Amino acid sequence: MSELGLPVPGPRRPVWFNEVMQESRFAAEPWSATTRFRPVACVGGVPLMDIVERFGTPAYVVDEADVRGRCRAFRTALPGADILYAAKAFLCRAMATWVRQEGLGLDVCSGGELAIARSVGFPADRIVFHGNAKTPHELAEAVEYGVGRIVVDNLAEVVRLAMLVPPGHRQKVLVRVIPDIEAGAHAAIRTGGEGQKFGLSIASGDAAAAVARVLRQPELELVGLHCHLGSQIRSLEPYEQAARIMVEQLAAIRDAYGIALPQLDLGGGQGIAYLEGEHGLTPDEYATTVTKAIEERCATLHLPVPRLTIEPGRSISGPAGLTLYRVIAVKRTIDRTHDRTFVAVDGGMSDNPRPSLYGARYAARLIGRRSAMADRPATLVGHHCEAGDVIAENVPLPADIRPGDVIAVPATGAYHYSMASTYNLTGRPPVIAVAEGAARMVVRREEIDDLLRRDVGL
């Protein structure tokens, strides 16, 4: 990505803005592309401490330029493919709008995600609806809105969906199959192997049965196959293997029914960096490997090359986000086996459940002041009544870290806001978008009054 160098109108432009935007070195992963730490910590030309003072903590910050840049990177790497942003990673009206403006489609897996898309006028033909247990109401909403494709995930869904299609119409569908490939950073986010709740098994014959059942329904148009391997995949080999297996399934359908399905959806799951020194899977790396595998296997099987669809989520929104916390307490514990410093902040597992769910690891950085003290390992913890409420283990923080300090945690743009809870009746943080030297709230903070309004009493 290139340096932005964009003009910022109005008096709110910081006096040091030009110096920041002209700095030649981008912040390294896992920080977003416009993150700078000199002369002060800022994202998108906005000082992070200004966000703290204006919006409070904890707060999610999303770098709009980084999101847009990653959308464009996928489109450039795969110009002939359909790029669908996976809404489950992070979705709000602003995010849906950015994705739409950048020419991507949207992969939704619930009625709520579809409602957000509809609220901003997202083109229906650029939406794919997923889900292993779509309710009849969700299917009806998807058909009524005219979504481009619905992914069939179980045999019962075929007839149920066909009955909802209005007379004279046909609904395009993909059949999700299980390629039996284990990939993903944790067992809970591996979805491409046998024994999962997602997809239809090739080995058991369910995938073939679903294809036959769809082809018998005049209300449905089978346009291709779909698979999804898992999440936070940082190796190319599983994608290459999946591409070959899926092309073989397309060839099997051609041989059985005399039709060459025109589309192949390989899902998403491309991994990102969470720790400094790590590197994510780039769009160019992915594109080179996958397109080569598809083209070579199609040539061997004498099959037309299908139009590729992919569904990146985390790899678009994840690096664009960071979370700001205020330090509440610092505590040192010593026993026979441990000498630990706990740095407790005003957020935790309610705004970032990934460490407790998946053992995810994060970086952290003190902002707002400079310390002359050396770093020492600290455990960044939340304020919830759980021993497992840990945000980051053994992160280097200055030895003089103290209450009132502010800490930034990078790579929190995916599966944080979307998985946030109100545990301990803690309201969810706001989402603050930054771009071109300006910050604006796109999702407001959830207050106690919001929680009380849902409680109807005795």
CATH classification code of 78-315: 3.20.20.10
Residue 165 has phi, psi (to 5 degrees) of -75, 125
At residue 176, does pLDDT exceed 60? Answer: yes
How, if at all, do strands 171-178 and 46-47 pair? unpaired
Q: What is the mean pLDDT of the chain?
A: 90
Question: What does the DSSP 8-state code read for residue 369?
Answer: S
Reading the block at residue 170, the tokens are 């046909």
Cβ-contact 162, 183 below 8 angstroms:
no
The more confident residue out of 293 and 21 is 293
Query: Quick one: average pLDDT of 269-281?
Result: 92
Unique residue bearing structure tokens 């759980």: 386
Range with the lowest mean pLDDT among 176-190, 261-275, 353-367?
176-190
Q: In whole angstroms, give the CA distance from residue 297 to residue 319.
A: 33
Q: In whole angstroms, give the CA distance from residue 432 to residue 62.
A: 6
Query: Quick one: average pLDDT of 10-39?
Result: 60
**What confidence tier does 339 reach under pLDDT thresholds 50, 70, 90?**
confident
Q: What is residue 25's predicted lDDT score, i.e. its pLDDT? A: 37
Cβ-contact 143, 170 below 8 angstroms:
no
At residue 15, does pLDDT exceed 80? Answer: no
- For residue range 104-161, list pLDDT tens digits in order: 999 999 999 999 999 999 999 999 999 999 999 999 999 999 999 999 999 999 999 9
Cβ-contact 310, 83 below 8 angstroms:
yes
Q: What is residue 187's predicted lDDT score, i.e. its pLDDT? A: 58
**What confidence tier does 182 reach under pLDDT thresholds 50, 70, 90?**
low
SS3 356: helix
At residue 24, does pLDDT exceed 60? Answer: no
Q: Find out whether the peptide bond into 30 is cis, omega within 30 degrees of 0.
A: yes
Closest CA to 206 of 229, 227, 242, 175: 175
At residue 4, does pLDDT exceed 60? Answer: no
Catalytic residues: 385
Question: What are the residues facing 438 on neighbouring strands?
Answer: 435
Specify the DSSP element, H or E, that contains 220. strand 220-226
At residue 297, does pLDDT exceed 80? Answer: yes
pTM: 0.91
C-alpha dist (Å) from residue 214 to 151, 200, 210, 211, 293: 11, 13, 6, 5, 28
At residue 78, does pLDDT exceed 50? Answer: yes
Fold of domain 17-63+320-454? Lyase, Ornithine Decarboxylase; Chain A, domain 1 (2.40.37)
Question: What does the DSSP 8-state code read for residue 11?
Answer: T
The reply to whether 17-63+320-454 and 78-315 are identical in fold is no
Q: In whole angstroms, give the CA distance from residue 230 to residue 192.
A: 6
What residue ranges do the domains of the chain occupy?
A: 17-63+320-454, 78-315
Q: In whole angstroms, give the CA distance from residue 247 to residue 326.
A: 51
- What is the distance in angstroms between the CA of the first residue and the CA of the last residue of the chain? 56
Specify the DSSP element, H or E, that contains 238. helix 237-257
pLDDT over 90, % of the chain: 82
46-76: b (≥16 Cβ within 10 Å) or e: bbbbebbeebebbbbbbbbbbbbbbbbbbee
Runs of H (alpha helix) within 81-180: 93-101, 111-119, 136-145, 155-162
